[in-house]
Amino acid sequence: MKRNQRAGAKVVSRRDTLKVCLIPAGIVATRLLAACSTKKDDDAGNPNDTQAGSNAAPGQAGTGVNPQASGGSTAGAAQSTAGSQAQPQAGSQAPGGAGSGAPMDLDAGGNDAQIADGGSTAADSGMSEVAGPGVPWATGGTTSLTSDYPDPFEGGNAGTACALYPAQTIGPCYADGPMNRKDISDGLDGLPMRVSLRVVQADGCTPVPDANVDIWHSGSQGIYSAFAMGTICNPGSDDVMNEMFCRGVQVTDADGRVDFDTIFPGWYTGRAIHIHFTVRVGNQEYVTSQLYFDDALSDEIGAQGLYAARGVRDTTNSNDFIFASGGGSPADVIFETVKRPDGVLHAWKLLTVS
């Protein structure tokens, strides 16, 4: 494992010969991984490779199924048509460039920020602590994170109608057995990020306590842990079979909330930048899907430090054929985000299940 000299953070190296091969939901990803890694490049972007919304037995790990959502929609059944819709909204750029999936207008003090759900102001919702002009992005991984940030869910969602989060494919890089932990970075270098998720029911946004929220994403170099070199999930030069970076599980509290500390994901060929997640309650899987970032935000972060060394990404939300799958709109699947005064990215999302 190569180590970055800055703050002892580690960097997993990679080759840029990645192919994307998606596996039908309802099939354990690792069973098809070997076959997937040998597919021709022509198949990498085949929108017919993956279907979401198939039925699965309760408690089956990582099936990509939401028993109630999406109505059995086909993930990636056609090229995304959300191109124009996925463009950054006016006023969505935070000082210093922190984009947001929700309409936000952040002045230097952050007091004019508007949150889409409920229309509450930043001051009302605890979102006044945002970076002013000229604040650089933090570096060095999660060592830069502080323990306390304002609650992004406060005051914005009580009593509102919540739409089911659209199911999307589990993808080929799911791995069993991630640890129950808050910091999932395992010391990887990159832009530090706090991910806050709140699980609620569609009926009145009632919080769902004791739900298991499982998330996983690539490291800053576009590599997933838990896979051998030469596979679709790890085209790099380091064997990370025994690593579990950027994977973890948390159990929701009484308010339905979990927080993860991690780093901003790196891009890989054929996919927009995203985070996978699964929500389970007991033995029942409620939704498996993906979360995305505003393209303007991804482009700004991609121009920084070790992300810039990766080069310009080849896929945005507008041309990622999974992005619009599941029947959701861009606003449904893009994180709300803000740059905190310490340069950390705070990303959050309300996850509605039935």
pTM of the model: 0.69
Q: What is the pLDDT of residues 150-170, one digit of tens each?
A: 999 987 544 456 899 999 999
Q: Is the pLDDT of residue 47 over 70?
A: no
> Token pair of 321, please?
């054929």
Interval 27-54 mean pLDDT: 35
Rounded CA-CA distance 133/127 in Å is 16
Q: What is the pLDDT of residues 174-187, one digit of tens each?
A: 999 889 999 999 99
Supply the pLDDT for residue 63: 36
Supply the pLDDT for residue 236: 85
Q: Is the pLDDT of residue 238 over 80?
A: yes
Rounded CA-CA distance 76/73 in Å is 9
At 245, the pLDDT band (50, 70, 90 cuts) reads: very high
Rounded to whole angstroms, the maximal C-alpha distance in the chain is: 53
Supply the pLDDT for residue 206: 93
Residue in 195, 218, 219, 198 with CA at minimum distance from that of residue 209:
198
Residue 300 carries which side chain, given as an amino acid letter?
Answer: E
Supply the pLDDT for residue 66: 37
Helix (H) or strand (E) holding 249: strand 247-251
Helix (H) or strand (E) holding 125: helix 122-125
Q: What is the pLDDT of residues 85-101, one digit of tens each?
A: 333 333 333 333 333 33
Rounded CA-CA distance 18/41 in Å is 9
Residue in 72, 71, 76 with CA at minimum distance from that of residue 26:
72
CB 153 within 8 A of CB 257: yes
Interval 248-264 mean pLDDT: 98
CB 141 within 8 A of CB 329: no
- What are the helix (H) ranges across 2-58? 33-37
Q: Is the pLDDT of residue 38 over 50?
A: no
Supply the pLDDT for residue 29: 38
> Token pair of 41, please?
């490049």
Q: Which of 41-55, 234-248, 259-273, 300-314 has the lowest mean pLDDT?
A: 41-55
Domains of the chain and any CATH numbers:
1-87+137-354 (2.60.130.10)
Q: What is the rounded average pLDDT for all residues in the chain? A: 73
Interval 240-247 mean pLDDT: 96
Supply the pLDDT for residue 79: 31
Interval 65-76 mean pLDDT: 34
> What SS3 state is found at 5?
coil
Supply the pLDDT for residue 292: 98
CB 52 within 8 A of CB 167: yes
Residue 79 carries which side chain, given as an amino acid letter?
Answer: Q
Supply the pLDDT for residue 178: 82
> Which phi and psi angles does 260 have, rounded to 5°?
-120, 140
- Alpha-carbon Rg for the chain in angstroms: 19
Q: Is the pLDDT of residue 204 over 50?
A: yes
Rounded CA-CA distance 297/191 in Å is 12
> What SS3 state is found at 195?
strand
Interval 27-50 mean pLDDT: 36
Residue predicted with more confidence, 35 or 12: 12
